[in-house]
Every structure is written in structure tokens, then in C-alpha cells.
């Protein structure tokens, strides 16, 4: 039977497995891609596949299919500014939504592929090859762009889910798209066979240590996810297992009873209904087909294989292992964006992926990640004895003293607790600079994207503080390039516990701090 590319309402309803009444209402309200032709509706099969990956199908108090899989992104309410005349272009990671490979895993932070490509293009005007480093690799933007220019790349990423994304994207550059398409068909056939009988039970079990206030998946969805894990376990090749796990991790929260708004929480807490069921087979198949398409697209842009660039990803802390993993003066270009001073808890917000993909097994694994992460977290250091700076910076010390006096009666929940967090953060900035000064080649380029922040109503110009720390560790500051202005009151930091009583209107922004290695660290 030949499948039509254009479907009628009845055909489309059967295709996405909802009633005609439901689909008609979605069409009328513009919540599904379609076209009105006279009195009838027409639907493109390809558009419906894309919609199943990322479309919102809220129906009454229960959602039948899934939430958008792009929900890890912060909402972008402001117009993206034009590139600055004195420096680099816009960093907004949301631009990666349209970029092959980069769009596979939605992420809360980072920068755009075009930003990295622009820097590499400006710095390496000749055909010379370079070693490119990202110490906080996230989901691999810098690494992929470096490989696309045939450079050797190395990344450090302490979060195991993000490190998985880096590894899979690197491996994907060598995969055959047709292999992934066959894999998508096999997955669909396997799940169809297993779900045909209600008596079939998956061999996989939910992660025992993963606890949530409400069931993370509804029973129908959980059963399908466990069958997916059974299918993954049957694959003989490790890189295929990793690809399937990443695809599942990318759509996982979208088919769950939780949501990012912007931090992980229950759907019901933000006025959304539970997701009773989801067509996991179709959603994952569509995701895999998109991956195959992206691989095919990006492989056409790769340089001629005159050499095979080396790519390495370390799922560990750069601050602890960077100097031993990398040789002295071995890196030409470093492009990164470390966690900001906004206490966004990457560990907690990727708990579902880490547990369900078997990247961690015990809650103690999460604690180890929290205490080793750059800047730690407010929850980790707030109750410790008073922390002090490991270096001298009178301006910063004055600002920290001011912060410590705010709401002092609240202890860990007031200025004293937030000061501990800020001190730990800036101490890690100094550790970063010391490690980086060892691994960079003379005159090597370092670009660090970082933003200002508000703690208990007090602004910290983190970019300027970071630049001073870098200067004291042997770097020359080439410029502080304002690459992005955000609306006042980011949902990440503008809450009563973080912002307190903001004393004046403060514009939040991001800066690309440009550094050069020129001397030994000052004593």
C-alpha cells in the first residue's frame, strides 16, 4: 500500500492516533500544522512527524501525546540583537534549534554554533590546524564546530547526560544515515510487537533510586519506555546503544508528567494536566529519522578526509583533571561558557535522564556531581562555615561583604548563604584560570561567555570580575564584548530568594571575555 504525503482529516487522525474531533479542534486553534482547503483540512505527513516530536497537544486536563521536546530551552522573549561592531556575534543557544546535530538535545545554556564558527574563522584565517578545547562542553557545540573545520578537539563535561550527547554527536559524523533509518524501522516494529498484547511485560525495570513526588511517567508511557530500553539492550554495538539512549533522553521529559518552566517540576504545579499516554514508538522513530537526516546533511559539509581529526570527551571535571589530561601548552583555542552565577541546578534538572539512561544508579552519585561542579551550588555550600576568597580582589571583597549583610538573620537562606555560594563560584573562576594558563599555547585565544547576575538584590558584574582574575593569572584581556542583552528579570534568577529587593533596574547581559596567554601567572 502506497502512503500518501497529503492526508485528509480522518487519515491524519488515525495516523497520530487521536479522534477526528480532537484533531479538528487542534486544527481550528492552530495547534497542529495543516491547511484549510475549502471546507476540509489537509495535513502533510512529514509535518505531522515533526509535530509529534515537538508539538503540544493539551486536551482538557489530560494530555494524550506529549509536551514539546524543546522545552529545556529558556524562553526567548527579546529580539536577538545584531552582532556588536567591536567583537563577536550573538551567542543565543536557541539558534541551534535549526542547526543539524546541534538541535538534537535541547539545553538550558551554551551558545550558538554560528558564534563558535565565527571565532574559529577569524582566528584561523590560514589553513593551519589547531587544537580546540571546551572545558565545559555542554552538549558539544564547540566540539562539533571544531571537527567541521577538521581541527582536533577535546571537551570536559561533568554531567554524564551532556557528555553522552557530546560523544554521540562526535560518533554520528561517521555513521551511515541509512543504518539509523533501518534502526528506526526496527524499533517501531519491535515496540509494535511487544505492545500487541497487554500480557507482555518488559524485562527492564524503572530505576530504583529515582524518586519523584508524582509518578514520572504514567503507566502506559512507562511500559513503552521500558520496552525501548529492552530494545536498546539488544543492540550489539555500543555506539548504536548510545545513539538510542540519547534519542530517548532528548524526548523523555516531553512524554512525562514533569516539565521545565524553566526548572524541572510537576506539570500539575504549573496548571498542566498529566500525560496519560504517548505514542513513544512514533515519537522516537521521528526523532531517529531527524537524526539520520541531520547526519546526511552535515556530512556533506565536512572537509575532504585528508586527515582524521582527533576528538576526545572526558566525563569529568576540568578543574580537577584538565592539567593532567592535557599536556602543557597544548591548546590553541579555548571557547566555552561555564555555569553562571545564577544557581541553575544542572544536576537536579537532568536527574530523569541520568537515572533512566543508567548513567547514575545512586543518589550519592548526584552528590558527588554537585560537589565537583564548577561553582558548586547554593544548596551545596550555603550551610558551610564562612568561605573566603583564595585570591585578593578588594572590589569583589567589598561587594561580598555587602551581600553577607543582607538578610543576615536568615543565615544560610539569606546573605551569608548566598555569599558562600558566590565565594565558591569565584574561587572556581580562579582555579579555571590557573589550569587554563598551563594548557594554553603562547598567544593562544581564550573566549569565555559569561553573564552578570543578581544575588539578594545585589548585582555582580561577573564578566569584569572574571577578567580581573584572568589578568592576575597571566592573561591579557583583549576585550569584553557584549554579545547579548536579556530582558530585565530572567526567570532563572529574578525570584525573591535570589534577587531579594532589587534596588534598581538592572539589565542582564552576556559578555564574551577575550583573553590571550602572554605570561606566567602573577604571584
pLDDT given at position 387: 96
Confidence check: pLDDT of 209 > 70: yes
Q: What is the rounded average pLDDT of the residues 324-335? A: 96
159's torsion region: left (phi>0), alpha (psi -120 to 50) or beta?
A: beta
In this structure, what C-alpha cell is assigned to residue 280?
A: 513513544
pLDDT given at position 240: 97
Domains of the chain: 6-54 (1.10.10), 177-299 (no CATH)
> With 0-12 CB in 10 A as exposed, 13-18 as middle and 19+ as buried, what is 415?
buried
pLDDT band of 64, cuts 50, 70, 90: very low
The reported pTM is 0.81
> 60-64 — which CB contacts under 8 Å span 24+ positions?
60/273, 61/273, 61/274, 62/273, 62/274, 62/275, 62/276, 63/267, 63/272, 63/273, 63/274, 63/275, 63/276, 64/18, 64/22, 64/275, 64/276, 64/277, 64/278
In this structure, what C-alpha cell is assigned to residue 389?
A: 576568597
Distance set, CA 252 to CA 188, 226, 228, 298 (Å)? 17, 12, 12, 25
DSSP 269: G
Strands 152-156 and 6-8: unpaired
Average pLDDT, the chain: 85
Sign of CA dihedral 309, 125, 116, 343: positive
Q: What is the rounded average pLDDT of the residues 5-18? A: 85
Q: What is the rounded average pLDDT of the residues 209-227? A: 96
Strands 440-451 and 258-260: unpaired
Report the candidate in 422, 434, 374 with the shortest Cα–Cα distance to residue 398: 422
Q: What is the rounded average pLDDT of the residues 10-39? A: 81
Report the candidate in 302, 42, 7 with the shortest Cα–Cα distance to residue 175: 302
Q: How confident is the model over 433-473, as pLDDT tens digits?
A: 999 999 999 999 999 999 999 999 999 999 999 999 999 99
Contacts (Cβ under 8 Å, ≥6 apart) of 335:
116, 119, 120, 132, 133, 134, 142, 447
Provide the 10 A C-beta neighbour count for residue 263: 13
pLDDT given at position 54: 52
Q: What is the rounded average pLDDT of the residues 501-522? A: 76
pLDDT given at position 192: 95
Confidence check: pLDDT of 66 > 70: no
Instruction: Specify whether the CB–CB gap between 370 and 347 falls below 8 A.
Output: yes
Confidence check: pLDDT of 81 > 60: no
Contacts (Cβ under 8 Å, ≥6 apart) of 484:
80, 81, 90, 91, 92, 509, 510
SS (H, E, C) 395-408: HHHHHHHHHHHCCH
E-assigned strand segments in 62-119:
62-63
Instruction: Specify whether the CB–CB gap between 112 and 449 falls below 8 A.
Output: no
In this structure, what C-alpha cell is assigned to residue 176?
A: 551511515
Provide the 10 A C-beta neighbour count for residue 310: 11
Amino acid at each position: 500500500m502506497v502512503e500518501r504525503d497529503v492526508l485528509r482529516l480522518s487519515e491524519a487522525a488515525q495516523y497520530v492516533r487521536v479522534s477526528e474531533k480532537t484533531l479538528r479542534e487542534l486544527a481550528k486553534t492552530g495547534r497542529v500544522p495543516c491547511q484549510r482547503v475549502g471546507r476540509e483540512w489537509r495535513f502533510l505527513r512529514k509535518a505531522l512527524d515533526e509535530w509529534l516530536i515537538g508539538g503540544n497537544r493539551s486536551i482538557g486536563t489530560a494530555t494524550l501525546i506529549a509536551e514539546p521536546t524543546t522545552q529545556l530551552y529558556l524562553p526567548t522573549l527579546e529580539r536577538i540583537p545584531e552582532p556588536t561592531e567591536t567583537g563577536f556575534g550573538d551567542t543565543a543557544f536557541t539558534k541551534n534549534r535549526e542547526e543539524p546535530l546541534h538541535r538534537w538535545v535541547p539545553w538550558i545554556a551554551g551558545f550558538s554554533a554560528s558564534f563558535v564558527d565565527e571565532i574559529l574563522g577569524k582566528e584561523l584565517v590560514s589553513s593551519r590546524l589547531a587544537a580546540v578545547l571546551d572545558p565545559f562542553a555542554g552538549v558539544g557545540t564547540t566540539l562539533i564546530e571544531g571537527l567541521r573545520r577538521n581541527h582536533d578537539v577535546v571537551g570536559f563535561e561533568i554531567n554524564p547526560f551532556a557528555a553522552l550527547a557530546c560523544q554521540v554527536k562526535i560518533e554520528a559524523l561517521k555513521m551511515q544515515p541509512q543504518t539509523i533509518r533501518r534502526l528506526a524501522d526496527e524499533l517501531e516494529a519491535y515496540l509494535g510487537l511487544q505492545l500487541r498484547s497487554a500480557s507482555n511485560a518488559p524485562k527492564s525495570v524503572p530505576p530504583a533510586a529515582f524518586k519523584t513526588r508524582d509518578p514520572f511517567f504514567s503507566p502506559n508511557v512507562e511500559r513503552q519506555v521500558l520496552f525501548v530500553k529492552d530494545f536498546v539492550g539488544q543492540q550489539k554495538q555500543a555506539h548504536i546503544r548510545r545513539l538510542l539512549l540519547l534519542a530517548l533522553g532528548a524526548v523523555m521529559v516531553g512524554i512525562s508528567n514533569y516539565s521545565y518552566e524553566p526548572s524541572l517540576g510537576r506539570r500539575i504545579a504549573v496548571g498542566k494536566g498529566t500525560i496519560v499516554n504517548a505514542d513513544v514508538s512514533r515519537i522516537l522513530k521521528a526523532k531517529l529519522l531527524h537524526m539520520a537526516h541531520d547526519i546526511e546533511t552535515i556530512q556533506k559539509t565536512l572537509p575532504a578526509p585528508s586527515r582524521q581529526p582527533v576528538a576526545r570527551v572526558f566525563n569529568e571535571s576540568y578543574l580537577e583533571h584538565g592539567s593532567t589530561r592535557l599536556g602543557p601548552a597544548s591548546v590553541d583555542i579555548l571557547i566555552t561558557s561555564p555555569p553562571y552565577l545564577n544557581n541553575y541546578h544542572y544536576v537536579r534538572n537532568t536527574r530523569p535522564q541520568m537515572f533512566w539512561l543508567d548513567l547514575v544508579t545512586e543518589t550519592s552519585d548526584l552528590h558527588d556531581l554537585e560537589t565537583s561542579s564548577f561553582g558548586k551550588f547554593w544548596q551545596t555550600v550555603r550551610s558551610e562555615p564562612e568561605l573566603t576568597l583564595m585570591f585578593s580582589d578588594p572590589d569583589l571583597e567589598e561587594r561580598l561583604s555587602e551581600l553577607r549583610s543582607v538578610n543576615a538573620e536568615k543565615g544560610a537562606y539569606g546573605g551569608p548563604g548566598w555569599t558562600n555560594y558566590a565565594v565558591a563560584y569565584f574561587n572556581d573562576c580562579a582555579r579555571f584560570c590557573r589550569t587554563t594558563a598551563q594548557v594554553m599555547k603562547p598567544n593562544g585565544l581564550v573566549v569565555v561567555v559569561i553573564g552578570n547576575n543578581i544575588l539578594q538584590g545585589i548585582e555582580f558584574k561577573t564578566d569584569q570580575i572574571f577578567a580581573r582574575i584572568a589578568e592576575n593569572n597571566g592573561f591579557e584581556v583583549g576585550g569584553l564584548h557584549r554579545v547579548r542583552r536579556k530582558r530585565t528579570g530572567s526567570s532563572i534568577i529574578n525570584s525573591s530568594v535570589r534577587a531579594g529587593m532589587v534596588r534598581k533596574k538592572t539589565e542582564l547581559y552576556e559578555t564574551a571575555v577575550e583573553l590571550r596567554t602572554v605570561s606566567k601567572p602573577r604571584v
